[in-house]
Structure 1
Amino acid sequence: MTAASTPLLQVRDVDVRYGKFQALKKVSLDIAPGECMGLVGESGSGKSTLGKAILGLADVADGTITFDGTDITHVGGRARRALAKSIQVVFQDPYGSLDPAMTVGQILAEPLRVAGVSSSEAKSTIVEMLGRVRLPADSVDRYPSEFSGGQRQRIAIARALVRRPRLIICDEPVSALDLTTQAAIIDLFIDLQRETGVAYLFVSHDLGVVRRICHRVAVMYKGEILEEGPGAVITTTPEHPYSQRLLKASPVADPDAQALRREEWLKVRAA
């Protein structure tokens, strides 16, 4: 974990309800400046709901969310829009999150235009961010449909970076990509964090993915955090039975090891 006297983000005893269904139950976690915090669990565990609560897209019924010392739990309107400078998001689907009718240049310029950035400054920022995500400068005149899935996700990451945020919510950002492209995008996230100091909340269902990038990891099940600790520990020798089941479900490159892991996973699931 990155050393810091005060967390950048503090989530304390947060509840989120959709009617009678309680999606989050007394969830608490901290993210330090420049840290990557992994949030792992199966589909429906509440991972994405926590990200939405931080972004103001899910109503918090109880508890508090504090960013840089300021309570943002129920912030809305102009104050919430102002937070976009500091908190951004990268979604799972790199194509669905990009407007197909806009060029890459227009997509990246939009958040800068809303922020009142001059056209000349916006142009230089866009070129800089395209370089950071390893895309050529002439990408500005092309449309999302002209890029591969991995390149589209690079565009989405560049869009998240143009406001120079301090925290990015990464909601399953590589799960729609093939394994080779996943590895390249994860490496990009690591490089960008090293270069910019941005913090991540990295949401995933795969312990193998978060092992490569996250400093700390929290495991979520049915809206509750079951286990939290250093990434190297939680992703290799977790204590909670559910975390152990997730680990056995995580794929490995070696076919023999994968077959053994699947056999163990089936035994645990059947128990």
Structure 2
Amino acid sequence: MPEITPPLLSVEGLDVSYGPLKVLHEVALDVRPGECVGLVGESGSGKSTLGKTLLGLAPVTAGRIAFDGRDITRLSPRERRAMADHVQVVFQNPYGSLNPLMTVGEILSESLWYAGLSRAAMRERVAEALEQVQLPAEAAERYPDAFSGGQRQRIAIARAIIRRPRLIVCDEPVSALDLTTQAAVVDFLIDLQRQTGVAYLFISHDLGLVRRICHRVAVMERGRIVEFGDGERVTSTPDHPYSRRLLLASPVADPVAQAERRAAWQALKTGAMEKPRP
């Protein structure tokens, strides 16, 4: 766990509305340098909307977003493009997020044109990014359909890190992959963080994955953060009833333990249970 330092990202009292519909309510969380903060909740809880808002892709109704102490709540398009040097994103579906008509090298170098780098310098940065995600340099000459799902997500991660950001928003980055590939990509993200010191906001519905990678975890229900604390505690012995329901709904390999969880979940629904076993 990184030492306690001033936050790299700070969100305070954030509201987001689409017309009369308010989807985020007074959201507050922070991410420290080199830290992974998990954001968990059911589908429709608002977690992806929060990710989009941090990237400037959803309107802020009220509240404040700060990055490294600077207010970035409402940036101009030019300022938002400059923020891409510091904040990047890895999307959910590696099959849909990469342009199939472009080579991997073209995909990775596309975001570097703004910097005025020479072609040789861009090729160097592409090779460096591919090496960081453990893909060979010759992958730059191939098209995305030549790669497996896990490899495509590594390419998507390479696209994010090629600009050497300080924060990556990982929006359900492994949910479209099989379980074995999910584990491999999460292990890779952990290693990458150790090597580079990049911070993650890791958005997921899977408490098991979040427990493996995240230092702290925020739980979102209906657009509100209902619990935020140490990752091991929140994903094992949470305090809020909604967090407990998420824990009990998550699958485990042991059929006896799974049956106990199912019974406990039913008891919690009826208000007859205090706190679940981890």
Hey, what does 1:209 align to over in structure 2?
209
Deviates more, 1:254-263 or 1:95-104: 254-263
Q: 1:119 to 1:100 in 2, by over 3 A?
A: same
The alignment status of 1:82 with 2:82, answered yes or no, reads yes
Preserved contact between residue 171 and residue 202 of structure 1 (Cα < 8 Å):
yes
Aligned partners of 1:163, 1:104: CA distance in 2, in Å?
15
Preserved contact between residue 170 and residue 200 of structure 1 (Cα < 8 Å):
yes
Describe how 1:1-271 pairs up with structure 2 within 5 A: 1-269=1-269
Aligned partners of 1:73, 1:29: CA distance in 2, in Å?
14
Aligned partners of 2:159, 2:3: CA distance in 1, in Å?
28
Q: What is the one-letter code of the residue matched to 2:197? A: G
Aligned partners of 1:165, 1:103: CA distance in 2, in Å?
23
Gaps of 5+ in 1: none
Tell me by how many angstroms 1:260 deviates: 3.1
Preserved contact between residue 4 and residue 33 of structure 1 (Cα < 8 Å):
no
Q: Secondary structure at the match of 1:49?
A: helix
Q: Secondary structure at the match of 2:236?
A: coil
Aligned partners of 2:148, 2:259: CA distance in 1, in Å?
31
Preserved contact between residue 5 and residue 33 of structure 2 (Cα < 8 Å):
no
Hey, what does 2:274 align to over in structure 1?
none
Number of matched residues? Answer: 271
Q: Secondary structure at the match of 2:112?
A: helix
Deviates more, 1:96-105 or 1:107-116: 107-116
Aligned partners of 1:252, 1:114: CA distance in 2, in Å?
47
TM-score normalised over the length of structure 2 = 0.94
Q: 1:257 to 1:20 in 2, by over 3 A?
A: same
Q: 1:255 to 1:127 in 2, by over 3 A?
A: farther
Deviates more, 1:127-136 or 1:248-257: 248-257
Aligned partners of 1:46, 1:30: CA distance in 2, in Å?
17
Q: Cα RMSD between the aligned structures?
A: 1.3
Preserved contact between residue 235 and residue 247 of structure 2 (Cα < 8 Å):
yes
Aligned partners of 2:14, 2:211: CA distance in 1, in Å?
26
CA deviation vs aligned residue, 1:97-135 (integer Å, no higher than 9, x gap): 111100111000101123322221211221121121121
Aligned partners of 2:255, 2:188: CA distance in 1, in Å?
27
Preserved contact between residue 171 and residue 203 of structure 1 (Cα < 8 Å):
yes
Q: 1:233 to 1:21 in 2, by over 3 A?
A: same
Q: Secondary structure at the match of 1:235?
A: helix
Aligned partners of 1:102, 1:182: CA distance in 2, in Å?
25
Gaps of 5+ in 2: 272-278
Q: What is the one-letter code of the residue matched to 1:12? A: E
Hey, what does 2:275 align to over in structure 1?
none
Q: What is the one-letter code of the residue matched to 1:208? A: G
Deviates more, 1:136-145 or 1:6-15: 136-145
Tell me by how many angstroms 1:76 deviates: 2.1
Stretches (4+) displaced over 4 A: none
Aligned partners of 2:132, 2:233: CA distance in 1, in Å?
31
Q: What is the one-letter code of the residue matched to 1:248? A: L
Tell me by how many angstroms 1:261 deviates: 2.4
Q: 1:217 to 1:119 in 2, by over 3 A?
A: same
Aligned partners of 2:215, 2:258: CA distance in 1, in Å?
25
Aligned partners of 1:150, 1:47: CA distance in 2, in Å?
24
Tell me by how many angstroms 1:270 deviates: 5.9
Tell me by how many angstroms 1:58 deviates: 0.5
Preserved contact between residue 14 and residue 62 of structure 1 (Cα < 8 Å):
yes
Aligned partners of 1:35, 1:253: CA distance in 2, in Å?
29
Preserved contact between residue 56 and residue 76 of structure 1 (Cα < 8 Å):
no
Tell me by how many angstroms 1:256 deviates: 3.3
Identity %: 64
